[in-house]
Amino acid sequence: MSAPEQPRLAVLISGRGSNLQAFIAACDRGELAAQISLVISNNPAAAGLQHATAAGLATRCINHRDYLSREAFDHALVDELRASAIDLVILAGFMRILTPVLIEPYRGRLLNIHPSLLPKYPGLDTHQRALDAGDAEAGATVHFVTQELDGGPPVLQARVPILQGDTADSLAARVAGEEHIIFPLAARWLAQGRLALTESGATLDGKPLPATGVQYSSGMLV
């Protein structure tokens, strides 16, 4: 009997692609049984495109500035995804607000990571906002993408303490280290068919997830 075909991933980036590199490493180690079939950026200068090319991955640049509307840009993305027979879409630092043109065809197959403990601090400047609020901890959340900005059901969260003397940059660096662990893990659950988006929220192994998703710890069973 032949091995089941691995799901085909597209990773969408806008910048340096650090989470993309975490996905490449997870696939290389066999921790994520999936094939990164396409890397797309909206930014021609994105350093992550160079990392993808160096890893032998197919890349496309679809510059959002070439389109008159968000919907037209998203149609171009969907065309590329369909042409590559993509199964799962990973938003890894993709700095564009998506429209239903892309969200609906890939509903339940579209994951994002956000650098805060959602529902806290959707949007930008998350680390500085956590510092300004005097929070004791910060973190990152993997969530399904829906039409609500950073509001789709959370899947997996990692937390880090906020230390005395932290700046937005130092906090961001520690949170990024956790992102590189939890994002490929959540994608693994999705690729395995264990993770699903239902009308009532996210489920793992058929069981509803908490409102803030699974809380990651280094010794957890996965």
Where do we find the tokens 């130092």?
170
Instruction: Give the active site residue among 51, 64, 75, 114.
Output: 114
CA atoms of 126 and 147, how far apart (whole Å): 20
Of how many residues is the chain composed?
A: 222
The secondary element (H helix, E strand) that includes residue 182 is: helix 168-191
Nearest of 110, 132, 113 to residue 122 by alpha carbon: 113
**DSSP assignment, residue 64?**
G
Active site includes 114?
yes
- Provide the CB-side half-sphere exposure for 132 (13 A, CA): 7
CA atoms of 178 and 173, how far apart (whole Å): 9
For the annotated catalytic residues, the residue numbers are: 114
